[in-house]
Amino acid sequence: MDFTWPEESEQVFKQILAATQSWPASPDEARPFTREQWRRCADLGLLGLSVPTRYGGQGYGFLTSARAVEAFGRGCPDLGLVFSAMAHLFACTMPVVEYGGPALRERVLPRLCRGEWVGANAVTEEDAGSDAMAGKAVAVRDGDGYRITGTKSFVSNGPNADVFIVYAHTEPSFGHMGLSAFVVERGTAGLTLGEPFDTLAFESCPTSSIVLSDCWVPAECRLGEEGQGAEVFHASMRWERSCLFAAYLGQMSRLIDRCVHHVKERKQFGKRIGANQAVSHRVAQMRIQLETARLLLYRACWRLDRGEPATIDIAMAKFVVSEAAVQTALSAVRLFAGKGVRTDVGIERELRNAVPSTIFSGTSEMQLERVAKELGL
């Protein structure tokens, strides 16, 4: 066993951390990210971390990509921007990398890596959240293309997106075996964007529904074969549940540093509050939770880089990272007390940004169920 980081991974981490820490503060994290912020992410290589270099990406594997995302989450306090960029990469760009045809990859991937386009994943429907394969959207063959009809209800990046990965059934009677995935560009006839709506967290990540009404796309925009949509989706979740969640390692690291400084400086009853065992033990538990989550996540990435399925590793890592993120943020609120609930201080925003981690990319309960099944239960 060797826990030393490869030189490339450590250089990438230091470069991205230093760069993002020097970025100007977001003008208003309660508003959607700007194209200037998006280009800044692209210039740093964040929008193409795991994309082959021939398409303008960095060509990193799971470990180095995750290490880069951890640095991004630590250096950039605007976790909405971090989430938008990484959802763009792992849920939109990587499906094209892994399942797109040659012409589609050549046309789409460089634009996504350069930040000319914003990508979005359109899979969720009103009655198909955790059961993502139960969507009602359909794609009917029409000549050398498909006509897609359906409504996707929770599309992160939707209002700003230039291209969508849309999942629709080409053969509804086949269930998940009849699901297919398509690349649909903004401006395609029949595609309508819903009004942006507010969410608990990730305020700078614009979110909306999209409606597809007899929306025709050429067959070359299909990812993989007909009926391969479930495979496309699950492949993207390998990236998202591992690499994207490394951003929460960065968030936790940032929060712990801030809490350590606070409890050293804050005095009550004539002494610094960090001298109280109840406080120091809480901070110690925060660090233990972080390191536990980090070990599980990077072990999953290591196995993925070796070509192993890592199903149980991904599920355990996703569960532990998300639960630790919530507990760490909640502990920070309690340590900062009155300041912890003030919106101008920013601690409460960290808690709000941590809560969705237990829901998106598969709820914590789904990860436990996946672990149980791997154990034969």
Catalytic residue ranges: 240
The residues facing 120 across adjacent strands are 164
Q: Is 272 helix (H, G, I), strand (E, B) or coil?
A: strand
Q: At what angle do helices 311-336 and 246-265 cross, to 10 degrees?
A: 20
| For the chain, the helix, strand and coil percentages under 3-state DSSP, each to the nearest 5 | 55, 15, 25
Give the separation between CA 315 and CA 300, rounded to whole angstroms.
9
Q: What tokens does 14 get?
A: 């230091």
Closest CA to 321 of 346, 358, 372, 287: 358
Give the separation between CA 302 and CA 314, rounded to whole angstroms.
11
DSSP track, 220-265: GGEESSTT-HHHHHHHHHHHIIIIITHHHHHHHHHHHHHHHHHHHH
Q: What tokens does 228 get?
A: 């391969």
Asked if 97 contacts 109 with a C-beta cutoff of 8 angstroms, the reply is yes
Tally DSSP H helices, then E strands, for the chain.
12, 10
Tell the residue number behind the tokens 């890596």, with chain if given: 113
- Which stretches within the chain are classed as H helix? 7-21, 35-43, 62-75, 79-87, 94-99, 102-114, 229-239, 246-265, 277-305, 311-336, 347-354, 364-374
Q: Is the dihedral of CA 141, 145, 148, 154 positive or negative?
A: positive
Q: What tokens does 187 get?
A: 């401006």
Q: At what angle do helices 79-87 and 347-354 cross, to 10 degrees?
A: 30
